[in-house]
Amino acid sequence: MLFKEFGFDNRIMKSIAHMGFEEATEIQARAMPEAMVGRDLLASSKTGSGKTLAYLLPALHRVYKTRALSKRDPRVVVLVPTRELAKQVYSQLRLLLAGTSFSSILIQGGENFNDQHKSLQKDPHFVVATPGRLADHIKHRHVFLEGLELLILDEADRMLDLGFADAMRAINAAANHRLRQTLFFSATLDNTDVNTIAAELLKEPSRVAIGQGY
Ligand code: ADP
Ligand code: MG
């Protein structure tokens, strides 16, 4: 399926053209239409299959097409397990947001807490974060998620392996439940802990599993 067939906003099509991509990967082709109609999503596919754009493009489409619920709160939060992945996802997001009026920040463990607090006071639209540190900022009331429209969990299985279950639950509890959409990506869906937390976070999700095991 070609990117031009998804009905993305023109500004997104420009970014995709800039990246030089024409055809969606399989996970993108299956996941993006579900995400774009506002459904919760439980998805898995192997490393290198293009999951980052599978959630960032629908996220961007959504913020273009809808009005913010709040001026203060982030509209999109992406949770990732590690600092390395946070940096990768954040740099991909920065490319997509270049030339737009949308702002973004990176909140990861091991960096200065007060500097992050100051960045959060600028009311960024997108937050890419590791769960422990974002949960700390929520606890300190540095950020509120009542206006959150989209919660994305990337490599949720690894977040659980790293002991982030409680932080993930705290972030979920702070987030708007009525209007929020959740996109949940995991290397495997064949795991009790993954399914337990997915059942807590997701509402009637579409299930998209590409490749082995499903
Ligand atoms: P995953 O998260 O599934 O491991 P990534 O999102 O990191 O995969 O993508 C892996 C690589 O594939 C990246 O370099 C990305 O830019 C590239 N990529 C993503 N989507 C496409 C596409 N539709 N066509 C070609 N390359 C793509
Ligand atoms: Mg990935």
- 93 and 67 in contact (C-beta within 8 Å)? no
CB 93 near ligand 1, within 6 Å: no
Would 75 be classed as within a structural domain?
yes
Give ∠ CA 122-83-104 in degrees, rounded to 5. Answer: 25
Would 214 be classed as within a structural domain?
no
Cα separation of 169 and 197, whole Å? 8
- Name every residue whose Cβ is closer than 8 Å to that of residue 137 and which is 6 or more positions away in sequence: 107, 113, 116, 117, 120, 143
Question: Residue 123: which CATH number?
Answer: 3.40.50.300
Would 160 be classed as within a structural domain?
yes
Residue-level pLDDT at 214: 43
* Residue 29: φ, ψ to 5°: -65, -35
Would 168 be classed as within a structural domain?
yes
Q: Whose CA is nearest to atom 13 of ligand 1?
A: 50
Domain that holds residue 9: 3-209
Cα separation of 209 and 213, whole Å? 8
CA 165 to ligand 1 center in whole angstroms = 27
Would 78 be classed as within a structural domain?
yes
DSSP, collapsed to helix, strand or coil, labels residue 151 as strand
Number of domains observed in the structure of the chain: 1
Q: Whose CA is nearest to atom 27 of ligand 1?
A: 50
Which ligand sits closest to the CA of 92? Answer: 1
CA 123 to ligand 1 center in whole angstroms = 29
Residue-level pLDDT at 176: 83
Residue-level pLDDT at 212: 60
Residue-level pLDDT at 213: 47
- Name every residue whose Cβ is closer than 8 Å to that of residue 17 and which is 6 or more positions away in sequence: none
Low-confidence residues in the chain, pLDDT < 70: 212-214
* Residue 127: φ, ψ to 5°: -125, 125
CB 213 near ligand 1, within 6 Å: no
Could you tell me the end-to-end alpha-carbon distance of the chain, in angstroms, rounded to an integer? 21
SS (H, E, C) 53-121: HHHHHHHHHHHHHCCCCCCCCCCEEEECCCHHHHHHHHHHHHHHHCCCCCCEEEECCCCCHHHHHHHHC
